[in-house]
């Protein structure tokens, strides 16, 4: 098993995602959150266990900066823009070696099961896992069913299927969307087996709604969250980070971390 200790604390994960400039464009940003430096400050002060960046931001704002010593980097190896209208496909644009040179402690890769191009992504991810494991760093699968055949990507069965595909492909962590309830999410965590699970944040909702989802995913056995907009679009990013942290590290969820009890 790959050691996750560089990107976890007490077995828990709290990642701040900031690759939305690529995936969604500046429409996600305002004057408070367009500057990567400010987001890195939030990640450090908010107690996150990792920051997720694309290679361009990593090179210009992380690698040779004070942040390198303060927070682990999870480098996203593939990406696409919102301007692209075809069947979902996210090509790889950075290699594992390059990620390590940029200071990465782990790598991330998006797979869209169900897309016409899933074969390309499965193949690329297979190589990513191989290279990452050779270098002894974790590979995280952003695993989002998408494509003409996928009507609803957050049903119990679809999210559990995604989690299972992450396990089958050798991902160390599966980043999956919320499937609507504690029971549904628990099924996804169970299907992920020894692959650990983190929640993929989603569009900004009220604090109460988001914190409830975080409680449910922890109760279901996830090890934490990989969240972006629900933190840095919040009026008070540090306050919401504090609340997320107190849930993730709550001792009462220790028994629920499914994969730790089934190792
Ligand atoms: P959010 O918490 O802002 O949703 O970020 C999580 C994330 O996976 C990002 O890493 C990525 O940029 C984005 O969601 C992709 O979202 P989608 O493809 O669903 O629009």
Between the CA of 20 and the centroid of ligand 1 the distance, in Å, is 6
Check residue 141 and give left, alpha or beta (phi > 0: left; psi -120 to 50: alpha): beta
Q: Which of 13, 15, 19 to mutate to test the pocket of ligand 1 (most atoms within 8 A of CB)?
A: 19
Q: Which atom of ligand 1 is nearest to the CA of 76?
A: 10
Q: Which residues neighbour 96 within 8 Å (Cβ) at sequence distance 6 or greater? A: 77, 107, 128, 131, 132, 135, 137
Phi, psi of 27 (to 5 degrees): -60, -20
Q: Mention every residue, 6+ apart, whose C-beta is less than 8 A from residue 131.
A: 95, 96, 97
> 87-129 pLDDT, tens per residue?
999 999 999 999 999 999 999 999 999 999 999 999 999 999 9
Residue with CA at minimum distance from ligand 1 atom 13: 20
* CB-ligand 1 contact for 234 (6 Å cutoff): no
| Whole-model pTM over 0.95 | yes
CA atoms within 13 Å, Cβ hemisphere of 52: 31
Is the CB of residue 201 below 6 angstroms from any atom belonging to ligand 1?
yes
Tell me the average pLDDT of the chain: 96
Taking the alpha carbons of 59, 61, 62, 64 in that order, is the dihedral positive or negative? positive
**Closest residue to atom 17 of ligand 1, CA basis:** 23
The CATH number of the domain holding residue 23 is 3.20.20.70
Reading the chain (263 residues) residue by residue, the pLDDT tens digits are 899 999 999 999 999 999 999 999 999 999 999 999 999 999 999 999 999 999 999 999 999 999 999 999 999 999 999 999 999 999 999 999 999 999 999 999 999 999 999 999 999 999 999 999 999 999 999 999 999 999 999 999 999 999 999 999 999 999 999 999 999 999 999 999 999 999 999 999 999 999 999 999 999 999 999 999 999 999 999 999 999 999 999 999 988 876 554 54
If one counts the domains in the chain, the total is 1
pLDDT for 261 equals 47
Cα angle: 217, vertex 47, 198; to 5 degrees: 25
d(CA 134, CA 129): 8
Q: Would you state the structure tokens that stand for residue 183, as one six-digit string?
A: 């029971």
Domain residues for the domain of 9 are 5-261
Mutate to test the pocket of ligand 1, among 14, 15, 17, 225 (most ligand atoms within 8 A of CB): 17
For residue 111 and ligand 1, the question of a CB distance below 6 A is answered with no
């Amino acid at each position: 098993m790959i050691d996750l200790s560089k990107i976890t604390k007490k077995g828990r994960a709290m990642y701040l995602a900031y690759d939305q400039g690529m995936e969604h464009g500046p429409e996600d940003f305002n004057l408070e959150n367009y500057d990567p430096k400010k987001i890195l400050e939030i990640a450090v002060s908010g107690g996150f266990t990792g920051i997720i960046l694309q290679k361009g931001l990593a090179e210009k704002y992380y690698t040779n900066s004070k942040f390198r010593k303060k927070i682990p980097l999870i480098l996203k190896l593939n990406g696409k823009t919102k301007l692209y209208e075809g069947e979902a496909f996210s090509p790889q644009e950075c290699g594992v070696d390059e990620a390590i040179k940029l200071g990465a402690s782990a790598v991330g890769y998006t797979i869209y099961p169900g897309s016409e191009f899933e074969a390309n992504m499965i193949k690329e991810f297979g190589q990513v896992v191989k290279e990452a494991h050779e270098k002894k760093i974790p590979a995280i699968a952003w695993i989002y069913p998408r494509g003409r055949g996928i009507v609803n990507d957050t049903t119990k069965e679809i999210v559990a299927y995604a989690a299972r595909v992450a396990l089958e492909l050798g991902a160390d962590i599966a980043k999956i969307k919320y499937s609507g309830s504690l029971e549904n999410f628990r099924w996804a965590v169970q299907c992920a087996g020894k692959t650990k699970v983190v929640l993929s944040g989603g569009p900004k909702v009220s604090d109460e709604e988001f914190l409830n989802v975080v409680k449910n995913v922890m109760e279901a056995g996830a090890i934490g969250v990989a969240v972006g907009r629900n933190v840095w679009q919040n009026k008070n990013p540090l306050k919401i980070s504090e609340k997320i942290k107190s849930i993730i590290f709550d001792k009462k969820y220790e028994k629920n971390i499914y994969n730790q009890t089934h190792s």
